[in-house]
């Protein structure tokens, strides 16, 4: 072997050694502190509880949840929420409250929904199937209950 081949082999070995040891030489990424992890998990739990309360209220309004079950579940969610808020307060990590958002688009959408409901109620008044007696809309050509052709 010639001397130049030995130098090339040593250079390659040096480059391979540097490449392999590179992860050990770099500074380790900074891990999240338990304090920050605890805060973020508490904030996530707070958001989850708020969503659960909103869903429960909505289900109650739709009649999916009985009154006693609603009261029991809501009380349990509120107690859990109070516990989370207390833990956040003890750590001094309560986020600043954001102002309630009441976008114009939501109000417009609700007005359109209410107008459509009133329109449907108006269509149903006085229109009944001659065969089964079920309420039908004046725009219906057939009874949705029995299939009788409407005149």
pTM: 0.41
pLDDT in tens, 80-113: 988 988 888 887 766 555 555 556 767 788 888 8
* Cα dist from 144 to 25, 121, 127, 148, 149, whole Å: 75, 16, 13, 8, 10
What distance in Å separates the CA atoms of residue 78 and residue 46, rounded to the nearest whole number? 10
pLDDT in tens, 14-26: 999 989 988 888 7
- Please give the pLDDT value at position 94: 61
More confident: 95 or 74: 74
- Please give the pLDDT value at position 102: 57
Q: Are 42 and 87 in contact (CB under 8 A)?
A: yes
pLDDT in tens, 33-48: 555 567 788 888 888 9
More confident: 26 or 32: 26
Q: What is the rounded average pLDDT of the residues 38-62?
A: 88
Q: What is the rounded average pLDDT of the residues 37-61?
A: 87
């Amino acid at each position: 072997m010639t001397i130049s081949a030995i130098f090339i082999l040593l250079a390659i070995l040096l480059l391979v050694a540097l490449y392999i040891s590179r992860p050990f030489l770099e500074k380790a990424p900074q891990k999240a502190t338990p304090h920050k992890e605890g805060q973020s998990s508490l904030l996530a739990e707070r958001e989850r509880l708020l969503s659960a309360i909103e869903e429960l209220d909505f289900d109650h309004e739709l009649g999916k949840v009985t009154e006693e079950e609603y009261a029991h579940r809501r009380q349990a969610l509120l107690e859990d929420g109070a516990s989370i808020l207390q833990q956040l307060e003890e750590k001094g990590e309560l986020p600043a409250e954001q102002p309630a958002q009441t976008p114009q688009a939501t109000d417009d959408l609700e007005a359109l929904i209410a107008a459509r409901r009133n329109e449907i109620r108006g269509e149903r008044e006085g229109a009944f199937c001659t065969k089964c007696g079920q309420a039908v809309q004046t725009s219906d050509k057939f009874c949705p209950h029995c299939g009788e052709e409407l005149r």
